[in-house]
Amino acid sequence: MPGPEQGIYYEQRRASVNDVPGLPATLPITATDERQVAQYTMFELLQNLMQVLLFFLIFSSLIGRFEIRQSSMEPNFHEGQRVMVSQVGSFWLHHFAHSAEASGGNEQELLGLERGQVVVFFDNAELTGDALIKRLIGVPGDTIEIRDGEVRVNGDPLTEPYVNGAFTQCSAYCGPLTLGPDEFFFMGDNRGVSRDSRAFGTIPADQIVGRVIVRFWPLEEVALYL
């Protein structure tokens, strides 16, 4: 009677078996071989799952998804729309450049922000409550002034096609205001209703989440922002 290791086996042919005299036509695969194959298959499956999990964690750290719950960016962004935000710069700033010496004081370059981009940030140092979505108006070193319904950056009128000719009113932080090395000035496109840097002042770099790169919902309004 065959032993436990010789019970059920499969027959596996080798391509060269007929060319070698004295070799058997079939090679048995024992139960031990089957267990080894199963263990290897399970190992490969776990390895693939770990790779997928690692990719998901990295993607979640670098790309954020936000639902717009404000009307301050109309008519360009509406409540209920969903966007993806690049968090690469803020991730680097928060984890690898905690001090001014480490970052070289160049937070704007680390965050990769430019005037005119749409940015998500928090208006408080605790990073609590809903994040805000606004237009970046001033970067470190800029002098901002809002006067007679017009926005001026470094003394020159700012061209703003996204406000559709609307006047910009201001009663608090109207300038002239020169931004420090880690300060940013934001305003909503819907100037009449937006609560922004005109009300709460400049935003430091460590309160910035990142810039909007994709509007992915609703599907008929998908847009890419480079």
Q: Do residues 108 and 207 make contact, with C-beta atoms less than 8 angstroms apart?
A: no
* pLDDT tens, per residue, the chain with 226 residues: 444 444 333 334 444 444 555 545 555 667 676 777 777 788 778 877 777 777 666 656 567 889 999 899 999 999 999 999 988 765 555 555 544 444 455 665 666 789 999 999 999 999 898 899 999 999 999 999 999 999 999 999 999 999 988 899 998 999 899 999 889 999 999 999 999 999 999 999 889 999 999 999 999 999 999 7
Compute the distance between CA of residue 150 and CA of residue 169 in angstroms, rounded to an integer.
8
Facing residues of 150 across strands? 147
pLDDT at 57: 65
The first and second tokens of residue 213, run together, are 């790169």
Q: Which pLDDT belongs to residue 112?
A: 74
Alpha-helix residue ranges (DSSP H) falling in the chain: 31-62, 88-96, 100-103, 107-111, 197-200
Is 0.75 topped by the overall pTM?
no
10 Å Cβ neighbour count for 30? 16
Looking at residue 95, its pLDDT comes to: 54
- Report the alpha-carbon distance of residue 156 to residue 121 in Å, rounded: 26
SS3 145: strand
As beta bridge partners, residue 12 has 27
Residue 53 parent element (H or E): helix 31-62
Closest by CA to 184, choosing from 127, 111, 129, is 111
